[in-house]
Every structure is written in C-alpha cells, then in structure tokens.
C-alpha cells in the first residue's frame, strides 16, 4: 500500500475514530484502525466490538492498493505533529511508514485479516427518519440517560417507533425525558441504543442518513460514514405510565430568567427550593451547612397561596439548556409529586426532593 493524503483530511478522520478504539489494552487489534486503499478511495475502520465506524474519502492519491492496521492513537499523535501539507503512508515488510519531508515514522501492524467484521446494512429493514429530527431528539434526551446502572436498559435510550410517530425516551429513575415526532412507518419497532453510541451519533451525522437495524445492531449510513452499534437487550420501563395524565397548575416561564436565577443558587447548593407566590418566584438554597443563597424573580403566577417544590437544579438546567424556545411550561400537582417540564414536543418528568 502506498498513498498520499493531505494532513488535515487524515487527521480529521482519525479524530473521529478515537472513541471507537480500545484504549486500555494496546495488544488488542481493536486498538488499531484498519486502513484500506482501493478503487481510488481510502477507507478506515475502527471498532471496540460494541460500536464501530467506517470513514471513506476519495481525496487521496493511491499509488498502490493494499490493507494494513496501525494503532489508532499513535497514528493520530504522529499525524498531529506534522506540518500542513501532504503526508505519505506506505507499507513495507508489514510495517506502516509515515513520512513528510525530512520526518519519518514507522508503526508495527497486526494482520488485517484478523480485524473484526462489521455488520452489513444491505438487505436490512430500514427506519425512515429525517436526520435533523433524529439528532435534535437525541440531543434533548441524552442528559437523562443513566450511567453504569445495573439495569442495563437504563444505560441507553429507547427509540419507540409507532405507525404514525416515533418516541425517544430516557430515564435515570429520578427523571424521564420523552420527545415525540410525527413519522410514518410501515412497521412498529422498539430498540434501546447505548448512551455512548447516542453521543457519537450526534457528533457524526448532520446530512442525509439511512438507518438500518437487525436483532442486534443499529446501522447508520451517510455519504462519508457508516456507523454501527450493538443494541441493549432488555425491556425499557413503561414510560407512558410515568407521565402525569393531568396537572392542576400550569405556568409558562421565561427560560433565560430561570437559568440566571437557578445558577445564582447553585453557587451554594445544587438543590434548590422554589416558591411560587402570586407575583413572585423565590429561589433558595437547600443546604445543611450554615450557608444561604436566595434570589427572587418578579413574575405573575396567580397562586393564591405559596406553592413550594424542591429540585435538583441539574435536572432543570439540563432541560433548559437543550430547549429551542424562549419559554417553557411547568405542570404542577402537589409539592411531593412529579412535575412536568414541557417545550413543544419535548417533556421531562422530574421527581421532586421531599422536604
């Protein structure tokens, strides 16, 4: 194999591949990228078995076709320290040589035949969805996905496809986030996608995409990228039962003012007590230490008597930081019952702190 490619192009590809590499054990072939030069295209693959990425580019000059593997992190480190301009990659005696002007490096390789196989999307059922709707929905529910929960299904998000809509749902048991979009589908399907995969999908895909699935994998294909993730086996909680069917009080609140007020309190405590009275909203810190933070916001709530809720500020800020509008609604029943934050087709149900 012998190729010439611009540093900026190969560097950008290798940056995207880092999350897909085995980092702890460099003796594993999954710490390597597979490089394939053929048919005037350079194709790179990376996988840790759970997720994988294929990137292709035709902005390359191939003098000799071939395949090789190389440690993905070390190769990126080398490319990064080179100057802008052309970089030469060449295979000799099963070693990868990287050169530019007077700079020369070589890396050991593994047998490319041992590189893990990727699932194919050909012949698989397809999910029809607009790429913008997918990314926007995933962005909104990502903060509510749990991490390292012994119930594996909570470490991912549910994509619940109905005949006329798709629901995206996630929960960490203290809050539930759901986005609903209108979408025609020829079949109904529920899959649970791991959190790591959801984060990477948001980094990679902006243009037109094609989604495919089988019993074990979700595959996303675009002009430049092919991505796969293994799905989580398990039964996601019945999220529709968690959402209150009715709310006694609904307020429309300004996003920016709420963020400013809550952030003042979080300098002291992450737990915030919010009191709604007739024409004012009072924010106070909840802290065992002899420290206090308090601020007020003038706002017509129309509560005839004080209504108090206590919350983890992170849940409220996570919601406010991903919504698209300047206002949102909060639906309240009783102080110790779940309340609902809503912005258009996105809602988050939050369990309050009992005080």
- Residue pair 347/338 in contact (Cβ under 8 Å)? The answer is no
C-beta of residue 179 within 8 angstroms of C-beta of residue 167: yes
Name the pLDDT band for 289 (thresholds 50, 70, 90).
confident
pLDDT digits (tens, 9 = 90+) for 76-116: 999 999 999 999 999 999 999 999 999 999 999 999 999 99
In sequence order, what are the residues at sequence separation of 6 or more whose Cβ sits closer than 8 angstroms to the Cβ of residue 182?
A: 164, 165
Q: What is the mean pLDDT of the chain?
A: 94
Mean pLDDT in residue range 194-213? 92
Mean pLDDT of all residues in 217-242:
94
Question: Both ends of the chain: CA-CA distance in Å?
Answer: 68
Q: What are phi and psi of 254, to 5 degrees?
A: -80, 130
What confidence tens digit (pLDDT) does each residue in 304-326 have? 899 999 999 999 999 999 999 99
**Rounded Cα gap, residues 162 and 334, in angstroms:** 33
Set out the domains of the chain in order of their start, with CATH numbers. Answer: 2-114 (3.10.150.10), 128-241 (3.10.150.10), 243-350 (3.10.150.10)
Structure tokens at 246: 């009715």
């Amino acid at each position: 194999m012998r190729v010439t490619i611009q540093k900026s192009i190969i560097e950008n590809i290798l940056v995207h591949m880092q999350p897909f590499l085995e980092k702890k054990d460099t003796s594993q072939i999954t710490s390597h990228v597979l490089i394939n030069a053929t048919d005037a295209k350079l194709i790179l693959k990376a996988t840790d078995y759970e997720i994988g990425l294929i990137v292709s580019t035709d902005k390359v000059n191939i003098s000799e076709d071939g395949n090789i593997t190389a440690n993905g992190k070390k190769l990126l480190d080398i490319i990064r320290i080179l100057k802008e301009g052309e970089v030469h990659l060449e295979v000799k005696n099963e070693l990868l040589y990287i050169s530019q002007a007077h700079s020369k490096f070589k890396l050991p390789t593994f047998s490319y035949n041992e590189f893990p196989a990727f699932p194919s999307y050909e012949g698989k059922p397809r999910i029809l969805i607009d790429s913008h709707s997918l990314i926007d929905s995933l962005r909104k529910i990502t903060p509510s996905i749990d991490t390292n929960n012994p119930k594996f299904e909570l470490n991912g998000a549910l994509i619940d496809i109905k005949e006329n809509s798709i629901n995206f749902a996630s929960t960490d048991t203290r809050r539930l986030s759901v986005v609903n979009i209108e979408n025609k589908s020829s079949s109904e399907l529920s899959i649970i996608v791991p959190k790591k995969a959801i984060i990477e999908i948001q980094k990679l895909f902006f243009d037109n995409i094609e989604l495919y699935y089988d019993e074990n994998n979700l595959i996303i294909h675009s002009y430049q990228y092919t991505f796969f993730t293994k799905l989580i086996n398990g039964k996601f909680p019945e999220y529709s039962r968690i959402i209150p069917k009715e709310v006694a009080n609904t307020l429309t609140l300004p996003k920016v003012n709420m963020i400013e007020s809550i952030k003042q309190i979080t300098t002291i405590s992450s737990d915030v007590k919010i009191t709604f009275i007739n024409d004012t909203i009072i924010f106070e810190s909840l802290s065992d230490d002899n420290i206090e933070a308090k601020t007020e916001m003038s706002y017509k709530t129309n509560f005839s008597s004080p209504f108090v809720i206590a919350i983890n500020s992170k849940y409220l800020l996570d919601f406010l930081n991903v919504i698209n509008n300047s206002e949102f609604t909060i639906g309240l029943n009783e102080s110790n019952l779940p309340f609902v934050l809503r912005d258009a087709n996105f809602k988050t149900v939050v369990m309050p702190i009992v005080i």
